[in-house]
Amino acid sequence: MRLIQSMLLLGGLAVLLLAGAGCNLVGAGTYLISGPEKTPARYTLPQQTIVVFIDDRANVLPRSRFVNQIAMRATNEILKVQELVPEAIDPAAVNRESARETTGNIMSIEEIGRKVHADIVIYAVPRQFTLVDERGTMPTCIMEVKVVETESGARLWPPPTDYEYHRLTVELAYKSTFEYDPNKVDELQQKLADVTGLRLAQLFYAHEKNPLDAQVSD
């Protein structure tokens, strides 16, 4: 009984100390309860079959395999990790369909989506994929993204009243002096492609703000 009374007394004392410690401790307690700050989803995907289409007709990506790498990372995150949709089409299928286009027969996004039996197309056009700019070593990928319904061809996101595309910018924090080395170049490009796929998927679900997950160092 004495032990229980002592524990209760200590517990009450702890509460008093925390209450008198000021707002900082209350803030820390709130953080522990609610968790790290989260970035909300930009758009909630319908519960339908999706396909991720990275349309690199302009050959912005330095290697064609990065098209599939970005699309597969985004698809896996949306379908298996976050379970946002019931089904997703292999991105390779949509790439095969787009490769069949000819100069005089360019298919629309929704037409390509229908050919692979997708209800929704997450469509992304790479605009920049670089390792170095005027700031120094700053691996950067910029893509324009939109979500299209294949049955009607309607743009679901961004909404019709907004810009046609959402501009997604991905930057890696590189903590080293960059020297040209083919192996290092390939490693950085693969990392950038992988994080770009993740960031593409994160447009569609709330996620923790954690800039360190895109950090690269030797």
Distance CA 176, CA 218 (A): 7
SS3 184: helix
The predicted structure's pLDDT at residue 56: 96
Domain with CATH 3.40.50 in the chain: 38-216
- DSSP calls for 104-167: TBPPPHHHHHHHTT-SEEEEEEEEEEEEEETTEEEEEEEEEEEEEETTT--EEES-TTS-SSEE
Task: Decide yes or no: CATH 3.60.21 for domain 38-216.
Answer: no
The predicted structure's pLDDT at residue 111: 96
The predicted structure's pLDDT at residue 166: 97
Q: What is the band of 178 on the pLDDT scale with cuts at 50, 70, 90?
A: low
pLDDT above 70 as % of the chain? 73
The predicted structure's pLDDT at residue 216: 52
Place of tokens 């924090």: 173
The predicted structure's pLDDT at residue 33: 57
pLDDT above 50: residue 198: yes
Q: What is the band of 106 on the pLDDT scale with cuts at 50, 70, 90?
A: confident
Q: What is the band of 176 on the pLDDT scale with cuts at 50, 70, 90?
A: low
Q: What is the largest CA-CA distance in the chain?
A: 89
Instruction: Return the minimum-mean-pLDDT range out of 79-88, 91-100, 119-128.
Output: 91-100
Report, as an integer, the average pLDDT of 137-146: 93
- CA-based end-to-end distance of the chain: 59
C-alpha closest to that of 94 among 125, 58, 51: 51
Bigger pLDDT: 36 vs 108: 108
The predicted structure's pLDDT at residue 117: 97
**Average pLDDT value over all residues in the chain:** 82
